[in-house]
Structure 1
Amino acid sequence: MFSIQNYTVESLANQFGTPLYVYDGNKIEEQIGKMRKAYEGTNLKLKYACKALTNINIMKLMRKNGVDIDVVSTQEAHLAILAGYEPHQIQYTPSGVAFSEVQEAVALGLRMNLDSLPLLEKFGQIYGSSLPICLRINPHIMEGGTIKISTGHKDSKFGISIEQADEIYEVVKKYGLRVVGLHQHTGSDFKNAHVIIEAAEKLFELAYKYFPNLEFIDLGSGFKVAYKEDDHITDMEKLGKGVVKVFNEFCEKYGKEVELWFEPGKFLVSECGYLLARANVVKHNPGRNFVGVDSGLNHLIRPMMYDAYHEIVNGSNPDGEEKEKYDIVGYICETDTFGKDRTIPVVNEGDIIVIKNAGAYGFSMASNYNSRFRPAEALVYNGEVHLIRKRETMEDILKNQVMLEL
């Protein structure tokens, strides 16, 4: 039987029902430890990119482990504050939001990371030199798993083009803006570790030329994790050695020690998460077998949206010698194939199907499509299991609808 720490998936499914997200909190701590070890020798600060998984208890676990937080909306910021974060521990990195939201972030006391020249201009007009800011720079590096998750290339909507460095500086001078940080994020699942160093060196050049008073350099994240056996991953130890070397050389040349920031999201929570679903039907069609489960793209959209591969296990029979090839499909009235042509131990109706790497962008991208409920979430931590979100009910589907007399 497949287990998460000391709990079988059958026992978890029986206790909390299916579908169910289960997170291994100790795996999160292990990932934090890997990053800290890799960047020893620098003044490192980790900011959890919480858009990956915003359950307030996951945020509290990050805070417990000394990890600050990066948010992309003021709603995420409010969750972080409820989780115990002080506003100065929260970096706000918006993209194309209304200026009223930026004003709300300022009122909350968040650290500001500005990603466009128009926003920089407007911010300068309103706030001048009164607040420290970070600048999100687009380094013009094409890297990432797919074009959908590559964010640092020339045609991306994210960041201020590095080719506009002179224009940035003119706005900074015009309003006396206090630039204390430079930021970049090339995208998720980059396969070549050298891209972080290449992007860092572009930020270093900007710092030397324009920004003498930086407190930190933020190199984003996008580290590749394993989605299947022998999958390519970011070699964190190797990358760390390279980054530490060039970063310390930068600090020496810059004339002061600055902090090195990273914003891991997927790297910290992807592998901690499992989506448990029960096999509703095993259908043998001519030439193709299907396992239909009680979940769908409404609970894990990554395979359909990004063609992402997620390993799938028959949790009720993980070591069975008799195997068959299946398409693992959902219950949504839409093509929602979790995995195609997967050879796994024979599945029977009622078996628990385990979809791995469901910690990042599982619940956070979930929906009520087909008016289905979003699942419960459970956290296994230090050998104990905790319910950290209740399963939705019909009341949740209806609560914001306004019933008219027609």
Structure 2
Amino acid sequence: MTATPPHQPRHLFGRGSWPEVSRIGDILRTETVGGALLLGAAILALVWANSPWSARYQDLIVLTVGPHALHLDLTLAQWAADGLLAIFFFVAGLELKREFVAGDLRDPRRAVLPVAAAVGGMAVPALIYMAVNTGIAGGSLRGWAVPTATDIAFALAVLAVISTHLPAALRTFLLTLAVVDDLLAILIIAVFYTSSLSLLPLAAALVPLGLFAVLVQRRVRSWWLLLPLAAAVWTLVHASGVHATVAGVLLGFMVPVIRRSPGEGPGLAEHFEHRWRPVSAGFAVPVFAFFAAGVSVAGAGGLGETLRDPVTIGIVLGLVVGKCVGVLGSTWLVQRFTRAALGDGVSWWDVLGVALLAGIGFTVSLLIGELAFGVGSAKDEHARIGILAGSLISALLATVVLRARNRHYRQLCAAEAVDADADGIPDVWDDDPVRP
């Protein structure tokens, strides 16, 4: 991107480059479908867990499979949380690296906004949760990180249901915020929710990880070489005591983004992302949601007791109030101290709607709840209800705000929806220095 002339104000949520907007559109379509599958899996789990056949659901999630000799005799729920979510974080690692190496966010001026919003959107919910649970016995404070994560697939599914014409810059902001959010969440898991650490398996994991890095740097795509190495990294990280999803992020970071030559075709990170994103959004995350979202209201001590629990209250307030205040406040601070202006046609009501969408926490929040309180414990049950309630309230509030802005979004899109030239690129991007 060319540098902004000093006499022109910098715009937050300004129009990005055409290649980035086109790529983000493809990602959003995949994530929206994945969000619909995620929602369906969560509803199925909730209905089954509260039906007369709930015992069969509980028997299914505790069914143990896997080799005992390798300490991989895990329940199906553990395989979903430790194994399938590693695919989710592998894709997140690919996306994050691509954003900062070749995407619009390689420009620090563009990167500062979603990074600041992600940090604020994690810090404020954590502070609210700790304020509610300080002094409460029973280890309630261990769940401080539960309301800090945003579920991008769920948020985009809600956005698709709203059927708004949200400006592409705001959609890109939401997606990038959630990707940075995922990275910070996995760092929190690795640092604060690793109960025991075995250094020997962790050091041994560097060997297959290094071989994987060498192969991908040489642009090797052979699955029969890469998959065994990735499985070895996952197994050793799991044995070390660090949550196994960290292996997915590490593997994603090893994959090169930049093409070696202009005529080479898609970069390897783009190739892997294209192959694995549908697996993540269409299978891995919905299956995890099916095993994690099936909470029995009666088994949790009754709805009244659950809603009075400080754990539930802290999570709901963290997601609904904390996420909104954190994202909106961080965006305002960036605008205030950089003296940047909002992009043309974008108002603070738009940012408020996106900030409310960021309060939809599901996949990673459920994972952190299990790590914090233990699968099947009373507090874990209450945490899951708090996550579901907070996410639902955030989705409803975001719907109210964005529906009210729907007419304005249509007007924005109509003003910019100029017919494309023969090159297939809308005229509004004709003078863009960053072209495919």
Band of TM-score, shorter chain: under 0.3
Q: Larger strand proportion, structure 1 or 2?
A: 1
Structure whose CA Rg is larger? 1
Name the TM-score, length of structure 2 as normaliser. Answer: 0.24
Name the TM-score, length of structure 1 as normaliser. Answer: 0.25
